[in-house]
Chains A and B, each alone.
Chain A
């Protein structure tokens, strides 16, 4: 499974989200790759199954094919675990 973590520029907050998502996916035993990317690339990229992003940015990606999962607190592994397992397991 391919997951993209999306922020404005793809080098800061999305990287932090990618790092924590990878920890959670490993714990859940989900086989997935996570790439950090910017909004522009996310809009053009169709090969990801899931987009991970903030509630604010999710509104700007409405209508894209991948399932969008929003994370409010990027450092709260419990929130990430809850939302990823609800969607992916």
Chain B
């Protein structure tokens, strides 16, 4: 199975493995920083991602160990894309069903529908437990990229 839309969505410098997160906000910021470093968003977007967390809580930890962090389409979004960071030490987000978090996916979209094919592939890859295990245990970014 290949994931052409994911290969496109994860631009250069959008993936980082075994990062140290101080706390849950920092874990979200790490995913936002990768959207910035890969040219998808301006730093304001990372702030908006943290604001969303403060407003809506940790509901976005939607599978065991996996969080999908994002904010709304805004002027801070340059182009639609994804980022991914694995955490060296798991972080408790406060989500009873799926804590602690080991993988944070950052997402940004320019509008409400241009990212749907990308999300369909994301749902498929995150539904594959072998692929998720490779992501969680990756020692370098190439191991993750090879999945797409």
* A interface, CB within 8 angstroms of B: 7-13, 15-17, 19-20, 39, 54-57, 72-77
Contacts and interface: CB of A to CB of B under 8 A. Distances in A.
Contact of B63 (A7, A12, A73): A73
A16 B68 contact: yes
B123 A8 contact: no
A13 B123 contact: no
Contacts, number: 71
B76 interface: no
B32 to A, nearest CB: 14
B97 A12 contact: no
B27 interface: no
A77 B128 CA distance: 11
- The interface residues of chain B, by DSSP majority, are classed as mixed
Contacts of A16: 62, 68, 119, 122-123, 126
Nearest to B97: A72
A20 B127 contact: yes
Contacts of B126: 16, 75
30 contacts: A8-B52, A8-B60, A9-B52, A9-B70, A10-B112, A11-B72, A11-B109, A12-B107, A12-B119, A15-B116, A16-B68, A16-B119, A16-B126, A17-B62, A19-B119, A39-B56, A54-B62, A54-B97, A55-B97, A56-B95, A57-B59, A72-B97, A73-B62, A73-B63, A73-B64, A75-B62, A75-B127, A76-B63, A76-B127, A77-B127
